[in-house]
Amino acid sequence: MKFNDGIKLALRDLSRRKGRTFLTALAVAVGTMLIVTLVSLGTSGESLILNEVQDSPSLKAVQVMNMKYFDMNSPDSDDIDTSTMFKKIDDKAMKKFSKIKGINDIKANISVNVNSIKINNNENKNETSILALYNNDSAFSKDSIASVRKSNKNNKLQPIVFGRNLTSLDKDNVLISENYLKAMGIKDYKSVLGKEVTITETKTENSSITLQPYSIKGKVVGIINDKFVDGNQVITTIDMADKLKSYYSLQDNYLKNQGYDGVMINAKSIDDVSNITDSIKRMDYANSSYYSIVQQIKSMFKITKVILGILGLIVLFVAAVGTVNTMTMVIYERTKSIGIMKSIGANRSNIHRVFLTQAGIIGVIGGVMGLIFSGVNVAIINFALKVYLESKKVTRTINITMPLWLIFGTLAFSIVICIIAGIYPSRKASKMDPVEALNA
């Protein structure tokens, strides 16, 4: 029997019971629809989140904390007494960090909030964050500069618009952003260069202890482009920040005794992040990175997609049972036809192939119907998301898509499942005795 003849026989038998064939294929379609729709939601959600951060320099950043290492993902991490976990980050530790392979730049910092910053007769009494870096390093890495330029579509943007950056020789100099000066009522930013700035702290970390306000004077040497820094942040030298933090923490020589508050390491590439975090772990310092968070997100989405896919598979396997039932009914209805086919020379392989072809055709019909249903579902979901986002005045668009690998993979799987479901009925048909079949 030729292959084309087998297909014609299979189609003819299925067409005689169109309603039953349709319902069997519909069950397959529902399973296919669930797999494609649910996995598409999971895949699109993963892509949406990962695309937001894949070009971000934050993915190459590793934050080191002045604490002993502990597994932040462990269920027992909430029970850890952090007051006993302190581990000093000093210049010696910085030198060790700097020797780790794959590091692009490394910045240790001290930060403290102050109550007042005054330039001439202009004063900002809102709480201001003071940031200082080890060796007065630049707060602007090459990656962060490139990211800001890309997001603003301007390759000429510079962190310092007037004046200069801090250097290791500076002792009492300050960088202030355009927005901060604007909040102080200063419009001519360049006029501030070289002016004296007074930074005042009035509180300590122990709210029950009140001291005389502590003021320190410096000089503005640079104006920061507000696109590169938070408007409520001022960058000072490490010496100035050390004195302010010493007052706040109620101890002399804060930097010498307590070290830096933390370290931010930027890797040369994303591939270097794992090596850097492992090296820091061996040095017994707690650390975190966006890269590890992204890896966790990927793992979560993998699990989610597997769960969603299994739900669809369960329905598809139920549909396979329906296919077995349909094929068995076809055999009983076509018993005499099977006897005639065998009497005119059809062998077991020919009979087996005909009924497997029928099962495969049901899989094709069900798979295609399922993909059509999935396309309709995705279109409805996208429309609903668009309406919802517009109602919230969100300009961002979110599109749920069906990956090609999922479309073809699910279609192929639905066909294979139906063919497997048709093996038992087809084998039963091929083993029929032609004499008994003709007399049935």
Residue 78 is encoded by which pair of tokens? 């909430």
For 183-223, the DSSP string reads HTT---GGGGTT-EEEEEE---SSTT-----EEEEEEEEEE
- Choice between 293 and 416, residue whose per-residue pLDDT is larger: 416
Predicted confidence (pLDDT) at residue 300 exceeds the cutoff of 80: no
pLDDT of residue 189: 92
pLDDT of residue 3: 53
pLDDT of residue 50: 65
| pLDDT confidence bin for 398, thresholds 50/70/90 | confident
Residue 389: Cβ within 10 Å count: 14
pLDDT of residue 259: 93
pLDDT of residue 172: 93
- Choice between 305 and 53, residue whose per-residue pLDDT is larger: 305
| Residue 369 and residue 26 in contact, taking contact as beta carbons nearer than 8 Å | yes
For 72-140, the DSSP string reads TTSGGGGG--GGG-B--B-HHHHHHHHTSTTEEEEEEEEEEEESEEEETTEEE-S-EEEEEEGGG--S-
Mean per-residue pLDDT for 204-227?
91
Residue 394 is encoded by which pair of tokens? 């969100």
Whether the CA torsion 88, 91, 95, 98 is positive or negative: it is positive
pLDDT of residue 208: 87
pLDDT of residue 11: 66
pLDDT of residue 353: 78
pLDDT of residue 399: 84
Strand partners of residue 385:
none
- Choice between 60 and 9, residue whose per-residue pLDDT is larger: 60
The domains of the chain are located at 3-54+296-439, 88-283
**What is the chain's mean pLDDT, rounded?**
83
Strands 160-163 and 285-289: unpaired
Predicted confidence (pLDDT) at residue 45 exceeds the cutoff of 70: yes
| pLDDT confidence bin for 73, thresholds 50/70/90 | low
Mean per-residue pLDDT for 201-210?
88
Mean per-residue pLDDT for 186-210?
91
Predicted confidence (pLDDT) at residue 290 exceeds the cutoff of 70: yes
Mean per-residue pLDDT for 62-89?
78
251-255 long-range contacts, CB within 8 A, separation 24+: 254/110, 255/110
| Residue 220 and residue 194 in contact, taking contact as beta carbons nearer than 8 Å | yes
pLDDT tens, position by position, 320-345 = 777 777 777 766 666 666 666 666 66
Mean per-residue pLDDT for 32-53?
78
% residues pLDDT > 90 (the chain): 35
Tell me the three state secondary structure of residue 225: coil
| pLDDT confidence bin for 406, thresholds 50/70/90 | confident
Longest dimension (CA), the chain: 113
Nearest to 58 by CA among 265, 352, 217, 298: 265
| pLDDT confidence bin for 401, thresholds 50/70/90 | confident
- Choice between 2 and 122, residue whose per-residue pLDDT is larger: 122
Q: Can you tell me the distance from the alpha carbon of 355 to that of 425, in angstroms, rounded to the nearest whole number?
A: 8
Predicted confidence (pLDDT) at residue 194 exceeds the cutoff of 90: yes
pTM of the model: 0.61
Predicted confidence (pLDDT) at residue 82 exceeds the cutoff of 60: yes
Tell me the three state secondary structure of residue 224: strand
Mean per-residue pLDDT for 20-42?
83
Contacts of 319 (CB under 8 A, 6+ apart): 24, 27, 28, 30, 31, 366, 417
Tell me the three state secondary structure of residue 12: helix
pLDDT of residue 438: 56
Buried b (16+ CB within 10 A) or exposed e, 313-350: bebbeebbebbbebbbebbeebbebbbebbeeebeeeb
Residue type, 293: I
For 46-76, the DSSP string reads HHHHHHHHTT-GGGGEEEEEEEE---TTSGG
Tell me the three state secondary structure of residue 345: coil
Strand partners of residue 262:
65, 109
pLDDT of residue 26: 85
- Choice between 126 and 325, residue whose per-residue pLDDT is larger: 126
Contacts of 290 (CB under 8 A, 6+ apart): 53, 56, 58, 59, 61
Cα–Cα distances (Å) from 391 to 249, 394, 395, in that order, read 48, 8, 10
Q: Can you tell me the distance from the alpha carbon of 15 to that of 26, in angstroms, rounded to the nearest whole number?
A: 15
